[in-house]
Amino acid sequence: MSTHPGPFPENPLEKTKNTFHPSPDEESTPPIFTPEEEASLLAASTAEKLTANSLFGRGDYSSAIQVYLKALATCPTYLDYDIAVLRCNICACHLKLSEWKNAVAAATEALEALDRVDPPPPKPMKDGGDGDGDGNEDVTATTGQVQEISETTVLAFEALSRAGHTLSDVHKIRGKALLRRAKAQQEVGGWAALQGALDDYNRLSHMPYLAPIDQKIVQTALHTLPRQVEMAQKSEMGEMMGKLKQLGNGILKPFGLSTENFNFVKDEVSGGYSVQFNQN
């Protein structure tokens, strides 16, 4: 299914780009509209979203994707929560169409947008950090570390507040996006995708905003997925070793050797492997 049906109608962004007010402090900060322009663009985007929702409800998922994309084209690029909602809806359409990889991509884009509003806590620093900062910082409750708040995050959070949304709304959409991405990755299959699904379900298991039915889905997946990941890993490793063995035999054959002359011996203490040569 093509997600690019052709040129979209005239983009309202083109009409107002002479009124952009970029931040002088950060080149990557997206252009900011006046409150009136922002409200107008968001209203137009919301109208497209409602049309797409109606198409989704009628089962016309391909058309819904195209209209959601129109809504994205109209929505100011710094309204990350609204962008995440649209991306999450696009993911739902791809799931209905069994377009699993596209669903994974759409959900990932939704999660990236939400991370700009509500960044995940930093990984613990081994050296404890240097403690330097410029005052634009916050201390995360989970790590106790000082985390700098970027200009982009400040902008995204201000936009979230202007629209009347809260971090609770962000958390709920994040849960939906993770659930949808996990389902899609399960359908994609394979070691990497199944491990990605397991990671998402593990993350979901710590979220307090899940409905009981979603909690049941998560717990079931956490019970069944580890075995599936293990089996996929063994299968892919076996296939890879088979190809390496075939390649090795081709290289060793001129010397009168084969991979049968070499054995991999596992060190039970370190978990590593050593190679032993056996002369036939």
- Let me know whether 174 and 77 are in one domain: yes
Q: Is residue 234 part of a domain?
A: no
C-alpha 228: how far from chain center = 22
Q: Is residue 194 part of a domain?
A: no
What average pLDDT does range 133-150 have in this prediction?
A: 52
- Let me know whether 164 and 243 are in one domain: no
Q: Is residue 139 part of a domain?
A: no
Q: Is residue 126 part of a domain?
A: no
- Let me know whether 68 and 171 are in one domain: yes
Q: Is residue 152 part of a domain?
A: yes
Q: What is the rounded distance in angstroms from the CA atom of residue 216 to the CA atom of residue 80?
A: 29
What is the percent of the chain where pLDDT is above 90? 52
The larger pLDDT score, comparing residue 138 to residue 98, is at 98
Assess whether pLDDT exceeds 70 at residue 47.
yes
Query: Phi and psi for 32 in degrees, rounded to 5?
Result: -105, 135
Q: Is residue 4 part of a domain?
A: no
Q: What is the rounded distance in angstroms from the CA atom of residue 74 to the CA atom of residue 97?
A: 25
165: left (phi over 0), alpha (psi -120 to 50) or beta: beta
- Let me know whether 47 and 165 are in one domain: yes
What's the pLDDT score for residue 40? 96
- Let me know whether 115 and 247 are in one domain: no
pLDDT, tens digit, 9 for 90 and up, residues 52-96: 999 999 999 999 999 999 999 999 999 999 999 999 999 999 999
Q: What residues make up the domain containing 18?
A: 12-121+148-188
Cβ density class 12-34: b for 16+ within 10 Å, e for less: bbeebeeeeeeeeeeeebbebbe
Instruction: Say which range, 69-78, 129-138, 151-160, has the weakest mean pLDDT.
Output: 129-138
pLDDT-derived band at 31 (thresholds 50, 70, 90) equals confident
CATH of the domain at 183: 1.25.40.10
Number of folded domains that form the chain = 2
The larger pLDDT score, comparing residue 144 to residue 13, is at 144
- Let me know whether 66 and 156 are in one domain: yes
pLDDT-derived band at 180 (thresholds 50, 70, 90) equals very high
